[in-house]
Chain A
Amino acid sequence: MREKLVFEISKKGRVGVSLPRCDVPEEEPERLIPERCLRKDLPLPELSEPEIIRHFTRLSQLNYAVDTGFYPLGSCTMKYNPRVNEEIASLPGLARLHPYQPEELCQGALRLMYELGEYLAQIGGMDAVTLQPAAGAHGELTGMLIIRAYFLSKGQKRHKVIIPDSAHGTNPASAALCGYQAVEVKSDKKGCVDIGELNKLVDDDVAAIMLTNPNTLGLFEGNILEIAAIVHRAGGLLYCDGANLNALLGVARPGDMGFDLLHFNLHKTFSTPHGGGGPGSGPLGVKKALAPFLPVPLVVKQGKRYLLNYNCLLSIGKVRSFYGNFGVLVKAYAYLLSLGSEGLRQVAENAVLNANYLMNRFKDHYHLPYDRICKHEFVLSGARQKKRGIRALDIAKRLIDYGFHPPTIYFPLIVNEALMIEPTETESRQTLDRFADALIKIAGEDVKTLKSAPHHTPVGRLDEAAAAREPNLRWKK
């Protein structure tokens, strides 16, 4: 099914919306604005309403989605997005608010933000939380700026941030954006930070270490207390990338392990939908010593009233306008209340159980570079299959034919032909078994079938090299 572009459907004279008549004097724009400031032509498409609905509905049908199938995407936590969250987020009393409306007329919104901040602090073992960052990477940037401001306030200028070789790409990118030199620490044979290496790298020029725990191999950094001691002894801080927090909910808290900062991915751990790439939300929690540097405003409670406090002398300022992705915060808040403290732990337990169950099913069919209990995700290697000329990409594309979204591939970088699988707690054992059956079957399939996969999609494998060589980034007449 191929769908034309809106520009190809457009016909002169069609309109897609009815607008009110002008009930004030209809002055010519030239009388109100100098003619040189007015545009001569507005080259937007012209479609009627039924055409618009059909076009975008047909486009939607070309998408895979959580509501249509299983996404075993490592480090992305593609869990079910509860419907009650959507209903609540669209209530007029929560969706139709101006960000600058007076405090006395947004007490409900401020209370929601205040309570969500408290819950997140409690879950992460942090002392204070900002809800402002719009995504995980934005939380990282905020964290890096706070770390920098913290050291400056102590009269120190540190230049290095240590990042494991298994880290998400956002970690080094965020550190660099804040002017830090990213220094890589190698993983040891067990897939965790090499303590010997770390000891050699840590000195008083290290501002922080950024760790994902469990790491991107799905393994808990068992030496975390020692890592914390090493970094803290040199005066450095520990930043936790919370992408993998789903494994720890109600089980353990980064704040208790020595982490000083932690960002939360509400669009992963806290069930808000990915929206085809966003909006996300990346609140950042910090320990007490770092709280004075958080972005403004902070929601505070005075008696029974909630206020926005802009009066923070040491604050890094703002990382986006207003207060954050409020609509996303509402959904995460609803999710947390649906779970309660008891449900929270069940999430982690079932996510980890599902991952271990699934991992166990692949042991005889794929190389498992780190064969130990995993947390919420695990990484297979397609090394055996590669010997027959089959790449991780081919396996991934073939899974589409079986009705599954491919896992994350070629990441983390330290595993050859990596297939990174995260089932989440919202999948049933039957789904996991069907997925395992498919992936195991693929391991034995012939090269030709795999190389030409997927076979039943609206388009086949696309020429990405041509797309990058001669970029066509917009439609032209």
Chain B
Amino acid sequence: MHYIPNTDGDRIEMLQAIGLASVDELFSDIPAQVRINAPLKLPSAFSELELLEHARQLGAENANIDDYVCFRGAGAYDHFIPSVVKQIVSRAEFYTSYTPYQAEISQGTLQAIYEYQTLICQLTGMEVSNASMYDGASALAEAVLMSCRVTGRDRLLLSQTLHPEYRQVVKAYLQGISVEAVEIPYASGLTDLDWLKKELNDRVAAVVVQHPNFFGLLEEVDEISQIAHRVGALFVVSVDPISLGILQPPGTYEADIAVGEGQVLGNEMCFGGPYLGFFATRERFVRNMPGRLVGATTDSEGRRGFVLTLQTREQHIRRVKATSNICSNESLNALAAAVYLTALGKEGLRKVALLCLRKAHYAWRETAKLNGFSPLFSGTFFKEFSVNCPTSPPKINQVLLRQKIIGGLELKGSYPEHENGLLVCVTEKRTKEQIDEFVESLRKIGEEQ
């Protein structure tokens, strides 16, 4: 086995040094009736060559987005990743290093994460960011748990325009504790503010919305924030970081916790993970935050350095009273996000957001011209929009696939009321030519009806 340096000779000498006759004796403390005597039912070892060939074959059974044109979003997005990102995260000094508990030999990771935290604050307009959570959905779940800790309240209002999987994750996280999550219905694709005003009371820990929401629409975040604060509830918002290239950041509309999916910041879609959840909040809540935090400090000679800090919140110190059970986070993905945000910078991120905005609107207008296709909602959107189709979306997507186009997400799965609804995503990677081809295909499908 080429990952193991010990030779037969080494093993014999090492056993002699310990005073044992065989390797089996090392396992004599395991009861005989649970020791395995026959090899497990696993494949025989592949050589490196065979393994690569096998993996390529598996890969060939998947449609990858280099070969297909992707108009699907819904929580994972086909954005451009500059080469610098991959080059940096592929440095073994980053990816083969451990959690930076030993600060003196981890300044690279620690400083990069401190930069990541700052970049997330700059992007969201919030005061503090942690070092990352597992993904956008679990970050949201941790945000609602923190809302309950901060307010001492036991009821949550979750908008139905939140990503359906995010709602599922929040509810799973709440199963063991006595906190009730109630869904806010939507009207015209937006969180129903009349309902919210009626149901909101001082038992509510947080009002939780996504912005832009699952249908792609911009929520009335200013107003929701005010409504929530009137009864002392927190306003928790899940945002698309790319949209923050042009949209008001959560800090300006007084969000108390801003979370979101950081995949779009330089991480491959990778069939759903690894991604990262970002988590940012107000300074006064910092001791209630989940997850790792990196802080700046000095050494005995006054040199600036970075350390993991406020660790008394965390499981390895506080155990049963920790603010979260999280240990491993998504550090390398956060590094990718930091490199991405640095590479795009002030101008680049705005440009990407504008490209998404303009291309999505071009696609939307061209689609809306078609016979039988109409916008599902009239609200303002960013890079995703929902359309009502003249025929069943699965059929449409089947036809598109033949042209190597991955069409929009069929809304019916999570919103049965939108039988013919399709959620279309257009990022900066889509060219006018690709959009025209997509629309042309829809036109033909519409005419066949």
User: Interface readout for A1-24 with B: 1 if CB under 8 Å, 0 if not?
Assistant: 011011100100011110110111
User: Interface readout for A115-156 with B: 1 if CB under 8 Å, 0 if not?
Assistant: 000010011000000000011111011001100110000000
Q: Which residue of B lies closest to A459 (CB)?
A: B305
| Residue from the list A16, A274, A347, A397 in contact with B344, Cβ < 8 A | A16
Q: Which residue of A lies closest to B352 (CB)?
A: A19
Question: Given the interface contacts A24-B359, A326-B270, does A122 sit within 8 Å of B65 by beta carbon?
Answer: no
Asked whether A169 lies within 8 Å of B102 as measured between CB atoms, the reply is: no
Contact segment of A61-69, A230-238, A442-450: A61-69
Asked whether B307 lies within 8 Å of A467 as measured between CB atoms, the reply is: yes
Asked whether A24 lies within 8 Å of B97 as measured between CB atoms, the reply is: no
Asked whether A252 lies within 8 Å of B36 as measured between CB atoms, the reply is: yes
Asked whether B104 lies within 8 Å of A457 as measured between CB atoms, the reply is: yes
Of residues 58 through 82 on chain A, the ones whose CB sits less than 8 Å from some CB of chain B are 59-68, 71, 73, 76, 78-82
| Residue from the list B127, B314, B358, B433 in contact with A26, Cβ < 8 A | B358
Whether, in the assembled complex, A267 has its beta carbon less than 8 Å from a beta carbon of chain B, the answer is: yes
Interface residues on A, range: 35 or more
Whether, in the assembled complex, B180 has its beta carbon less than 8 Å from a beta carbon of chain A, the answer is: no
Q: Which residue of B lies closest to A14 (CB)?
A: B345
Asked whether B61 lies within 8 Å of A339 as measured between CB atoms, the reply is: no
Whether, in the assembled complex, A389 has its beta carbon less than 8 Å from a beta carbon of chain B, the answer is: no
A294 to chain B, nearest CB (A): 12
A281 to chain B, nearest CB (A): 8
Whether, in the assembled complex, A346 has its beta carbon less than 8 Å from a beta carbon of chain B, the answer is: yes
Q: Which residues from chain A contact B261 at a C-beta distance below 8 Å?
A: 321
User: Interface readout for B17-32 with A: 1 if CB under 8 Å, 0 if not?
Assistant: 1101001011111110
A125 to B42, CA, bound (A): 13
Q: Which residues from chain B contact A87 at a C-beta distance below 8 Å?
A: 52
Q: Which residues from chain B contact A23 at a C-beta distance below 8 Å?
A: 431-433
Contact segment of A93-101, A197-205, A284-292, A379-387: A93-101
Whether, in the assembled complex, B226 has its beta carbon less than 8 Å from a beta carbon of chain A, the answer is: no
Asked whether A349 lies within 8 Å of B107 as measured between CB atoms, the reply is: no
Asked whether A463 lies within 8 Å of B299 as measured between CB atoms, the reply is: yes
A38 to B244, CA, bound (A): 9
Question: Given the interface contacts A108-B57, A279-B333, A339-B1, does A25 sit within 8 Å of B358 by beta carbon?
Answer: yes
Q: Which residues from chain B contact A37 at a C-beta distance below 8 Å?
A: 218, 247-248, 380
Asked whether B348 lies within 8 Å of A19 as measured between CB atoms, the reply is: yes
Q: Which residues from chain A contact B102 at a C-beta distance below 8 Å?
A: 64, 396, 400, 405-406
A77 to B100, CA, bound (A): 15
Asked whether B315 lies within 8 Å of A137 as measured between CB atoms, the reply is: yes
B431 to chain A, nearest CB (A): 6
Of residues 418 through 436 on chain B, the ones whose CB sits less than 8 Å from some CB of chain A are 428, 431-433, 435
Asked whether A321 lies within 8 Å of B36 as measured between CB atoms, the reply is: no
User: Interface readout for B43-77 with A: 1 if CB under 8 Å, 0 if not?
Assistant: 11110100110111111111111101010101110
Of residues 150 through 172 on chain B, the ones whose CB sits less than 8 Å from some CB of chain A are 163, 165-166, 168-169, 171-172
Q: Which residues from chain B contact A20 at a C-beta distance below 8 Å?
A: 355, 428, 431
Q: Which residue of A lies closest to B309 (CB)?
A: A467
Whether, in the assembled complex, A295 has its beta carbon less than 8 Å from a beta carbon of chain B, the answer is: yes
A342 to B65, CA, bound (A): 37
A454 to B10, CA, bound (A): 33
Q: Which residues from chain A contact B34 at a C-beta distance below 8 Å?
A: 224-225, 252-253, 256-257
Asked whether B64 lies within 8 Å of A93 as measured between CB atoms, the reply is: yes
Question: Given the interface contacts A5-B115, A134-B135, A342-B45, does A473 sit within 8 Å of B286 by beta carbon?
Answer: yes
Asked whether B44 lies within 8 Å of A349 as measured between CB atoms, the reply is: no
Q: Which residues from chain B contact A7 at a C-beta distance below 8 Å?
A: 115, 118
Asked whether A64 lies within 8 Å of B44 as measured between CB atoms, the reply is: no
Whether, in the assembled complex, B368 has its beta carbon less than 8 Å from a beta carbon of chain A, the answer is: no
| Residue from the list A59, A82, A326, A468 in contact with B271, Cβ < 8 A | A326
Question: Given the interface contacts A169-B317, A405-B102, does A107 sit within 8 Å of B61 by beta carbon?
Answer: yes
Question: Given the interface contacts A33-B380, A60-B94, A220-B29, does A173 sit within 8 Å of B172 by beta carbon?
Answer: no
| Residue from the list B176, B348, B397 in contact with A15, Cβ < 8 A | B348
Q: Which residue of B lies closest to A455 (CB)?
A: B104
Whether, in the assembled complex, A164 has its beta carbon less than 8 Å from a beta carbon of chain B, the answer is: no
| Residue from the list A45, A373, A474 in contact with B342, Cβ < 8 A | A45
Q: Which residues from chain A contact B369 at a C-beta distance below 8 Å?
A: none
Whether, in the assembled complex, A314 has its beta carbon less than 8 Å from a beta carbon of chain B, the answer is: no
Q: Which residues from chain B contact A475 at a C-beta distance below 8 Å?
A: 114-115, 118, 296
| Residue from the list B91, B169, B244, B327 in contact with A320, Cβ < 8 A | B169
A125 to B394, CA, bound (A): 40
Contact segment of B80-88, B182-190, B194-202: B80-88
Asked whether B317 lies within 8 Å of A145 as measured between CB atoms, the reply is: no
Q: Which residues from chain B contact A189 at a C-beta distance below 8 Å?
A: none
Question: Given the interface contacts A61-B108, A100-B72, does A177 sit within 8 Å of B325 by beta carbon?
Answer: yes
Q: Which residues from chain B contact A16 at a C-beta distance below 8 Å?
A: 82, 84, 342-345, 348
Whether, in the assembled complex, B392 has its beta carbon less than 8 Å from a beta carbon of chain A, the answer is: no
| Residue from the list B48, B96, B296, B317 in contact with A66, Cβ < 8 A | B96
Of residues 308 through 326 on chain A, the ones whose CB sits less than 8 Å from some CB of chain B are 316-326
Asked whether B30 lies within 8 Å of A94 as measured between CB atoms, the reply is: no
Interface residues on B, range: 35 or more
Asked whether B122 lies within 8 Å of A19 as measured between CB atoms, the reply is: no
Asked whether A22 lies within 8 Å of B354 as measured between CB atoms, the reply is: yes
Question: Given the interface contacts A102-B397, A340-B46, does A33 sit within 8 Å of B358 by beta carbon?
Answer: no
Asked whether B357 lies within 8 Å of A33 as measured between CB atoms, the reply is: yes
| Residue from the list A29, A112, A176, A278 in contact with B132, Cβ < 8 A | A278
Q: Which residues from chain B contact A173 at a C-beta distance below 8 Å?
A: 315, 318-320, 322, 324-325
Whether, in the assembled complex, B395 has its beta carbon less than 8 Å from a beta carbon of chain A, the answer is: no
Whether, in the assembled complex, B362 has its beta carbon less than 8 Å from a beta carbon of chain A, the answer is: yes
Asked whether A145 lies within 8 Å of B271 as measured between CB atoms, the reply is: no
Q: Which residues from chain B contact A56 at a C-beta distance below 8 Å?
A: 84, 88, 91, 112, 339
Asked whether B326 lies within 8 Å of A63 as measured between CB atoms, the reply is: no
Q: Which residue of B lies closest to A33 (CB)?
A: B380
Q: Which residues from chain A contact B66 at a C-beta distance below 8 Å?
A: 92, 96
Of residues 298 through 332 on chain B, the ones whose CB sits less than 8 Å from some CB of chain A are 298-301, 303-307, 309-312, 314-322, 324-332
Q: Which residue of B lies closest to A413 (CB)?
A: B319
Asked whether A60 lies within 8 Å of B98 as measured between CB atoms, the reply is: no
Whether, in the assembled complex, A440 has its beta carbon less than 8 Å from a beta carbon of chain B, the answer is: no
| Residue from the list B40, B62, B75, B293 in contact with A93, Cβ < 8 A | B62
B12 to chain A, nearest CB (A): 11
Q: Which residues from chain B contact A84 at a C-beta distance below 8 Å?
A: 48, 51-52
Asked whether B15 lies within 8 Å of A32 as measured between CB atoms, the reply is: no
Question: Given the interface contacts A250-B36, A322-B271, does A108 sit within 8 Å of B344 by beta carbon?
Answer: no
Q: Which residues from chain B contact A280 at a C-beta distance below 8 Å?
A: 328
Asked whether A44 lies within 8 Å of B107 as measured between CB atoms, the reply is: no
Q: Which residue of A lies closest to B74 (CB)?
A: A100
Whether, in the assembled complex, A196 has its beta carbon less than 8 Å from a beta carbon of chain B, the answer is: no
Counting chain B CB atoms within 10 Å of each CB, the highest count among A68, A99, A182, A319 belongs to: A99
B48 to chain A, nearest CB (A): 5
Q: A62-B106, A97-B64, A180-B176 are in contact. List 13 more A-B contacts (CB 8 A).
A: A10-B345, A16-B82, A19-B351, A39-B252, A99-B75, A107-B61, A277-B131, A278-B331, A320-B135, A321-B275, A334-B51, A342-B44, A471-B128
24 A/B residue pairs, CB under 8 Å, sorted by A: A10-B345, A32-B361, A42-B349, A76-B98, A84-B51, A98-B271, A100-B74, A100-B75, A106-B61, A123-B40, A173-B322, A177-B325, A222-B31, A275-B335, A278-B328, A279-B331, A321-B165, A342-B45, A346-B1, A353-B6, A356-B20, A460-B301, A463-B299, A473-B295
Top 4 closest pairs, chain A to chain B, by CB:
A93-B59, A322-B272, A340-B45, A275-B332
